Structure 1
Amino acid sequence: MGKWFPRWYDALMEPLERRGIRNIRIRLLQKAWGNVLEIGSGTGLNFPYYEQVEQVTAIDPEPLMVKQSMQRAEQAHVPIRVRRAEAEALPFADNLFDTAVGTLVLCTVPDPNKALAEIRRVCKPGAPVLFFEHVRLEHPLLGRLQDGLTPVWKRLCDGCHLNRNTLEQIQRAGFKTTVVEPHYKGIFLVIEAVNEKDIGKQ
């Protein structure tokens, strides 16, 4: 990743945060509980909004992002431990976390299917998994436009894919979706799911 993207990420996000994304984060994180895993925590934009949880383990592969998030972690209302790690190879034991959170992250993960399998592994059976993601539109023209823009967009925005069908990937990974809430004409989705697995088969 180039150094410019982590340094300018908060400034780039601030107009969107003011126009509603901040409120979406707040409402989503109110549903987290217990021992929480956050993947792709970036600069820690979610950290101020964790309240009714025991602790948060936040991971991100980008060292500059991890460094920038430390101040927000220190100022958070709950204990937050930040560490550098990749979502496709989580350095945690099976069935460890009560909740998993990911906001605007699966678009940039190189292998989202592997990352989802890892989230499923480290979360307890029945654990809520809370996502806020942008997705490919089903609209025939706009969906093709996202496809066409993605190669350039990936280079500009640290590997971000405009055209991933993230909802389908989450469902295919073995999570049971309980809420799918569209925002901004369906470009963004809140996806709440449950980690359905039999612990005896792990």
Structure 2
Amino acid sequence: MGKWFPIAYDFFMKPLEKHRFKDIRSNLLAKAKGRVLEIGSGSGINLPHYQHSVEHVVAIDPNEQMLQRSVEAVRQGKVKIQLLNAEAEKLPFADNTFDTVVATLVFCTVADPEKVILEIKRVSKPGARILLFEHVKVSNPFWAKVQDRLTPIWKRVCDGCHLNRNTLGYFKQAGLSMQEVKKYYKGTFITVDCLYQPERKGQT
């Protein structure tokens, strides 16, 4: 990730964050509880939204500059927040650690989404809530093709971001229980509320 990207990201996202995104994040994160893992916490935009149903947030990001930019957001938070430099593909936590896992605008950039989901499942307690806010490939065939064509250039300009990633499909394939899926901006953005319910030994 280039040194310019954290600054540019905040600058270009600010208009969206001040309006619709702020409400989307607040409504989604109101569902978080207990011990929370936030993956790809970036500049800390989510951190002030966690409510007192949350005991502790561990916010990880692979970019040290992003974490430095989130220090002020930690001060504004209502709950205990720990920042940690770590990668989603190799989470430094024991199995069955978290009650809630949060990822917002993260799965478009991770190198291996399936591996990240496996790691999320590993560190989640049975019955843990997984909360997502992502931009995804749209269902409209014309605009989906536009996303496909733009993605190679977009990835180079926006630090690996995939416009056309089918994030919801990855989570469904992983066997997670979809509780609620909401679409915004004609399906360009979605929120997902799902549960981790591991199969019992011997269950088919």
User: Which TM bucket (shorter chain)?
Assistant: over 0.9
| Counterpart residue number, 2:65 | 64
- In the alignment, the residues of structure 2 paired with residue 138 and residue 125 of structure 1 have an alpha-carbon distance, to the nearest angstrom, of 32
Distance (whole Å) between structure 2 residues aligned to residue 19 and residue 81 of structure 1? 27
Deviations 1:27-68 (A, max 9, x none): 000000000000000000000100120010011101110111
Gapped regions of structure 2 (runs ≥ 5) = none
Q: Which has the higher helix share?
A: 1
Q: Structure 1, residues 131-154: CA drift from partner, whole Å, max 9, x if none? A: 000100121110010000001111
Q: What is the alpha-carbon distance in structure 1 between the residues aligned to residue 118 and residue 128 of structure 2?
A: 14
Does 2:40 align with 1:26? no
Q: Which residue of 1 aligns with 2:5?
A: 5
Q: Flag as ranges the 4+ runs of structure 1 deviating above 3 A.
A: 198-201
Deviation of the 1:94 alpha carbon: 0.2
Contact 2:139–2:187 (8 Å) recurs in 1: no
**Do structure 1's residue 101 and structure 2's residue 102 form an aligned pair?**
yes
Q: Distance in 2 between matches of 1:67 and 1:5?
A: 13
Structure 1 residue 19, shift from structure 2 partner: 3.0
Summarize the Cα distance change of 1:200–1:93 in structure 2 as closer, same or farther, 3 Å threshold: farther
1:147-184 CA-partner distances (Å, limit 9, x unpaired): 00001111111111000011010111221111010001
Query: Post-superposition shift, 1:71?
Result: 1.9
**How big is the alpha-carbon RMSD for the aligned residues of Structure 1 and Structure 2?**
1.2
CA distance in 2, matches of 1:199, 1:156: 44
Contact 1:176–1:196, Cα closer than 8 Å, also in 2 = yes
Q: Hey, what does 1:47 align to over in structure 2?
A: 47
Structure 1 unaligned residues grouped into runs of 5+: none
Letter of the 1:23 counterpart: D
> Is the 8 Å Cα contact of residues 179 and 193 (structure 1) preserved in structure 2?
yes
- Pick the structure with more strand per residue: 2
Output the TM-score relative to the length of structure 2: 0.95
User: 1:200: Cα distance to partner?
Assistant: 5.9
Paired residue for 1:165? 166
Query: For 2:172, what is the secondary structure of its paired residue?
Result: helix
How many aligned positions are there?
A: 201
Shift of 1:18: 2.3
